[in-house]
Amino acid sequence: MNTVGTSTLSGVNKILFMETFQEILKKAMIAEDICAVDRSDSKYITNPYGSEPTAVVQAVAGTYSVSAWTTTDDNLTVADEIVYGEHIFGFEEVFSRIDLKAARFEQMAYACSYALDKWVINNLTEDGTGAYTTPVGGFTTAGNFLTIIGNLFTKVTGFAARMGYYLVLESGDLAGVWPAMASNGFVTADNALREGMLMKYGNIDIHVVRAGTFVDEAATTVSGTKTWTNLSHRVFGVKGVTTYCSPRGLTYEEKGVSGKTGTEIDVWALVGHRVWNNKAALTVDITLA
C-alpha cells in the first residue's frame, strides 16, 4: 500500500497539480499579459531613477549651464501571499467514484489564479496616477465607447509603448461595448457581428473579468496588506510598465495529519506588485460616471 506524501503516486499528483496550475496561468491570468513578470527569488526589488533632464535650445555659443540632479529610490517588496488549504479524508477517497485529488487540484488552481488576478488588477487601479472619468453611462452606453477610447489614448500616447495597450472591463460593461463594436466601421463591425466580442480594438487588448472584480477593500483576506477604493472603476494603460513578482510561482504540499485519515493539501504563493513612480501616469484609473 502507498503512503501519501512519500510514494511515487504522491509525486505524480504533485506534478499534475503544478502543470495544471501553470497551464491555467497561461490561459486565464490577465496579470501575466499586462505586467512585466519577475520570477526570481527576490523579496525586494529596487528601481532607483534620476531626475529627468531638459535640454536647452540656444544660439550657438559653445557654453552651457551645469544643472543639479537627484536620484529617487523606488522599490517593490514582496509582502503578501495567496494561500489555501483543505483536508481530504481517507474514506472520501475510497468511496468516491472520481479522483478527488485531481478534481480538487484543478478547482484550487482556478481559485488561486482568480485571487492573484484580482489582487494585481486592483493594485494597478489603485496605484496608477493617470485618471479619467467617463461620460455619464460609462461603458454600458454604446455611444460613449469611441469617445472613451479616444480620451484614454490622450493619456498615454507620445510615449514609447512597444508592448501595446490594455483595457480591463467587467462583464456588465459589454452591454454597451459590444453594440459599439458591431456598429462602427465596416470590417470591424462585420467581424464583431460574425465573431462576437472583439478582444482587440483600436490596438488595445481588451480583457473582461467577472462582475465584482473591482472592489473596495482595506487589508482584508481579499487584499492582503493593500487598501483599495476601486468600486465603479476600471483600468487602462501601457503594457509592461508595472511589475508583478511571483517568487518560485505556486508551492503545493501534501501532509499526513495526526488524528485524521487521508491527506491535507495546502497551496501558497508569494506575491508582490509595483506601479513604478516614474511611469505611474501610464496606468490610468478610470472612474465610471
Supply the DSSP string of 92-124, one letter for each residue. Answer: HHHH-SS-HHHHHHHHHHHHHHHHHHHHHHHHH
Q: Is residue 6 part of a domain?
A: no
**What pLDDT is recorded for position 174?**
92
Q: Is residue 86 part of a domain?
A: yes
Read off the pLDDT band of 3 (50, 70, 90).
Answer: very low
Q: Is residue 53 part of a domain?
A: yes
DSSP code for 259: T
**What pLDDT is recorded for position 19?**
64
- Which residues, other chains included, contact 2 with Cβ-Cβ below 8 Å and sequence gap of 6+? 8, 9, 10
**What pLDDT is recorded for position 1?**
35
For the segment 184-204, the average pLDDT, to the nearest whole number, is 76
Alpha helices (runs of H) in 128-222, residue ranges in sequence order: 145-156, 174-181, 187-195
**What pLDDT is recorded for position 258?**
83
Q: Is residue 3 part of a domain?
A: no
- Summarised one tens digit per residue, pLDDT across range 20-46 is 677 666 666 798 889 988 888 888 888
In degrees rounded to 5, what are phi and psi of residue 236? Answer: -140, 150
Q: Is residue 21 part of a domain?
A: yes
- Summarised one tens digit per residue, pLDDT across range 114-172 is 899 999 999 999 999 999 999 999 999 999 999 999 999 999 988 766 778 999 999 99
Q: Domain of 80?
A: 16-287
Number of structural domains found in the chain: 1
DSSP code for 30: S
**What pLDDT is recorded for position 184?**
80
CATH code for the domain of 36: 3.90.1690
**What pLDDT is recorded for position 4?**
43
101 has a pLDDT exceeding 60: yes
Q: Tell me the pLDDT of the chain averaged across its residues.
A: 85
Q: Which of 248, 220, 230 is nearest to 284 (CA)?
A: 230
The structure's pTM equals 0.83
Q: Is residue 5 part of a domain?
A: no
Q: Is residue 2 part of a domain?
A: no
**Helix, strand, coil percent content, the chain, rounded in steps of 5:** 35, 30, 35
**What pLDDT is recorded for position 59?**
94
For the segment 56-72, the average pLDDT, to the nearest whole number, is 90
Q: Is residue 252 part of a domain?
A: yes
